[in-house]
Amino acid sequence: MKKLLLTTLTTLFTSLIFACSCEYGGNFLHVAKNSETIVKAKIIEHVYHTKDGKRYTDHNEFVASQIYNNFDPHYGTGESIKIEILELIRGTEKRKVIEIFSTDGADCRASTGGFEKGKIYIMSIYQPKRPEPKLPNETDSDYAIGGCSENWVEYLPETNEIFGLIKGKSYRRKAREYSYDKLIKKIT
């Protein structure tokens, strides 16, 4: 009986600690052709979440709260970005402002930490359909970005171009500028 219990507990805990494992899914043009929701969006703010349900928009305040409350910085916290949808390229989303949650390290999502406030991006996003546990404050109406392929590019408004890993094989990937209008024609 002890052996069975120990085996069950070991299996349960080891399955919870594995990191994401996926193969490269392709460049932005390849991903966008099969994406359900694509948006042109401006980053409004980064939001940091704690397991007790609090939300912080100031990173230093978030870190201070963790230190003060003795939170484990690697458990029970989360990060998201609020975005303003400037153009719905594909999909059915009706809201103008949505939240995209970051990764917990095991769910094959992209991190939201690298998106710069005020910049505009073209993003392939999805609504995760998973049972608990979710990241703190995450709901079923929130979104995520896949982490196993090129799911976003930066929009350059001054030239009406995009910049990122738009096309090319996995071993020949190179960030480049590309016409926004040409992209839209290829993916719609």
- Helix (H) / strand (E) element for 38: namely strand 37-50
- Beta carbons within 10 angstroms of residue 126's beta carbon: 16
160: left (phi over 0), alpha (psi -120 to 50) or beta: left
pLDDT at 86 over 90: yes
Question: What per-residue confidence (pLDDT) applies to 58?
Answer: 84
Give every CB contact of residue 6 below 8 A, 6+ residues apart in sequence: none
- Read off the pLDDT of residues 70-79 as tens digits, 9 standing for 90 and up: 655 555 678 9
Band (pLDDT 50/70/90 cuts) for residue 5 is very low
**8 A C-beta contact, residue 145 and residue 123:** yes
Give every CB contact of residue 111 below 8 A, 6+ residues apart in sequence: 79, 102, 103, 147
Q: What is the DSSP string of 46-100?
A: EEEEETTS-EES-HHHHHHHHHHHT--TTSSEEEEEEEEEEEEEES----SEEEE
The model's pTM: 0.82
- Read off the pLDDT of residues 131-153 as tens digits, 9 standing for 90 and up: 766 888 899 999 999 998 999 99
- Read off the pLDDT of residues 47-74 as tens digits, 9 standing for 90 and up: 998 888 888 888 888 877 777 666 555 5
